[in-house]
Amino acid sequence: MDNRIKTPLGLGLVVALGLITSAPVFAQSWKITRGYNVGALLPSESRNLPDGSTYLTGGARYLVDTEDPTYPITGQSMDCRWMCKATADGGDVTCLTMCGGVDKDGDLFTFRGFGGNTYEVGPGTGKYRRATGGGTFEMLQPADPALTAIRFKGTLELR
């Protein structure tokens, strides 16, 4: 074979192999249908605002449990804080919820709720840097008044 043909062919093979080996890892995803977090309540507070509305804040430290042992957050703990504002007449309450924690690999993860009973995933660090997903949640009150619980369903995708 002519050297003029071998050199471009060899270079093309090297470039193709480089592209294959540097391709991103395939995304991983989970669908959780029976998530259950139980936790201890953190101190809460409320205060009246100048417009007559009330600001309320509180939170909890949760242990995450799901039906899928491969879900990277199963068995991990996370802290959640909620912040709410109730109008003076009590007719409208708007809340934000922020949850975050660290997994067994040391990567930070986050979840955000914007009113209602829905949440979004991410961002975080490491494997959660480009995490996406979300779902729904329901607040539950266990028999012990010092505890709180969340039942959730949703997805998590790591890219």
Tens-level pLDDT at each residue, the chain (159 residues)? 555 555 444 434 333 434 343 444 568 999 999 999 999 999 999 999 999 999 999 999 999 999 999 999 999 999 999 999 999 998 899 999 999 999 999 999 999 998 788 999 999 999 999 999 999 999 899 999 889 999 999 999 999
Backbone dihedral region for residue 90 (phi beyond 0: left; psi -120 to 50: alpha; all else: beta): left
In a domain, 110, yes or no: yes
Q: What is the pLDDT of residue 116?
A: 80
30 assigned to some structural domain? yes
pLDDT value at residue 25: 54
CB atoms within 10 A of CB 102: 16
> Does residue 47 form part of some domain?
yes
Of 88, 108, 89, 86, the closest CA to residue 99 belongs to 108
- CA atoms of 139 and 39, how far apart (whole Å): 11
What's this model's pTM, rounded to 2 decimal places? Answer: 0.77
Q: Is residue 88 part of a domain?
A: yes
Does residue 11 belong to any structural domain of this protein?
Answer: no
Provide the number of structural domains found in the chain.
Answer: 1
Q: CA-to-CA distance for 127 and 156, rounded, in angstroms?
A: 11
Query: Tell me, what's the pLDDT at 1?
Result: 56
pLDDT at res. 27:
85
Residue 152, beta-bridge partner list: 35, 137
pLDDT confidence of residue 7: 46
Do residues 76 and 87 make contact, with C-beta atoms less than 8 angstroms apart?
Answer: no
Domain hosting residue 107, numbered range: 26-158
The pLDDT value given to residue 114: 85
Please check whether residue 150 lies inside any domain of the structure. yes
Asked whether residue 2 is assigned to any structural domain, the reply reads no
- Look at residue 14 in the predicted model and tell me its pLDDT: 39
CATH of the domain at 86: 2.40.160.20
